[in-house]
Amino acid sequence: MYRLMTIVTLAASLLISCNGNRSDARKSNDQPDATDSLAMGSSDMLYLAVGTYTSKEGSRGIYLYRFDTLTGKSDSVSMAEVTNPSWLTFSPDEQTLYAVGENDAVQSAVHAFSFDKAKGRLQKINSQETKGSGPCYVTIDAKGRNVHTANYGGGSISSFQVNDNGSLSPAISVIQFSGSGPDSVRQQQPHLHSVAYSPDGLSLFAADLGSDKLYRFTVQETPFQGQPVIQESSMTAIETPAGTGPRHFAFHPDGGRYLYLLGELSGEVVVYDHHNGELTEKQVIEADTVGARGSADIHVSPDGRFLYASNRLQADGIAIFAIDPDEGTLTKVGYQPTAKHPRNFVITPNGKYLLVAGRDEDRIQVFTVDETNGLLSDTNQDILLSKPVCLQFAKSN
């Protein structure tokens, strides 16, 4: 009798473990098809791609999840092995995912992965050297033909062309920057931290933490084959307040009327009017009020009413601002504590959820967004994953 009870108990335990919460990627190394558990194909369902640092045991690369934008629930789908994919971006048609490999000068690379939505699978196509160390950001143009990386250690921007199958050409240009800032430790040299196109696609902007500058390049619409769409000769340097340490920036969804720049070192958001690539500074406001010098990421809500900026190192959390509908200026309305080291966060397209990658607590937090005041509430539906540092959404079909 005792033996029979033991067998029954063991069988029940196995059943529970096989049907447990698959949001914890550390509980299983299998890779189920996208047909498992949360059903794909609905407009309410998204894919969530997560880039990680792989230096810690438990993380092996890029992880794919399903995310339900009505309930905030998630479920793991698959994983693609790659070293330190600290920033990701999907091609405009979402058939390809590009990821940096944030490594030393010898091993730094940008990788192209084909994305099979039906199966929820990433398959590496090819990799190319960035020829600049520590690539920490990757972006692609609206036509899906040109990819650029911001190389933090190398102080440079590398440009690549996209082939018909989504693969990347070798780097066709590497623009090297110069300069420094007042912080003798963190601004001894250029540190390019982000690069992105303006909404109209006519300009490419780049933030340099090391020199307190935001750079703008005029985009060539019809370059010759093998010629980059940006040339150093078209570059304009925009000075930011000394000691800002420009890191990430975001455009307002209303045609990019405003650009919001987050200073990692100053902990301030600099607000600019934006018109045809020209910037006019109009406001500087604190996101970090404790002087932690670790501000990280910045995003505007899809409806353009609120702005969010993350802070690390002390009082880790997200500063919340209301955006003036007529002027684009900011008023601070709240602060949401988060898991440690919120290096990156993302907002669902419907504006209902904000997900935070807490690198040093090995978890992604899921917050609801109050549509009336922009404030956040923790749903306690964490996704457990070692060292998550970048979150990107893709449609389910």
Q: Is residue 138 packed enough to be buried (19+ CB in 10 Å), middle (13-18) or exposed (0-12)? A: buried
Report residue 16's pLDDT band, with 50, 70 and 90 as the boundaries.
very low
- The distance between the two most distant Cα atoms of the chain, rounded to a whole number of Å, is 84
Q: Where do the H-state alpha helices sit in 42-134?
A: none
User: Phi-psi category of 201—alpha, beta or left, where left has phi over 0 and alpha has psi -120 to 50?
Assistant: left
Closest alpha carbon to 130 in 152, 162, 97, 163: 152
User: Residue ranges per domain, the chain?
Assistant: 46-395
pTM of the model: 0.91
Spatial separation of the C-alpha atoms in residues 372 and 355, rounded to whole Å: 19
CATH architecture entry for 46-395: 7 Propeller (2.130)
127-167 pLDDT, tens digit each = 999 999 999 999 999 999 999 999 999 999 999 999 999 99
User: At 57, is the pLDDT very low, low, confident or very high (cuts 50, 70, 90)?
Assistant: confident
By the 8 A CB rule, do 316 and 361 touch? no
> Structure tokens of 208?
């340099």
- Within 10 angstroms of residue 113's Cβ, the number of other Cβ atoms is 26
The pair of three-digit structure tokens given for residue 305, joined into one six-digit string: 């009413």
User: What tens digit of pLDDT does each residue of 245-292 get?
Assistant: 999 999 999 999 999 999 999 999 999 999 999 999 999 999 999 999
Q: Answer yes or no: are the C-beta atoms of 390 and 51 closer than 8 Å.
A: yes
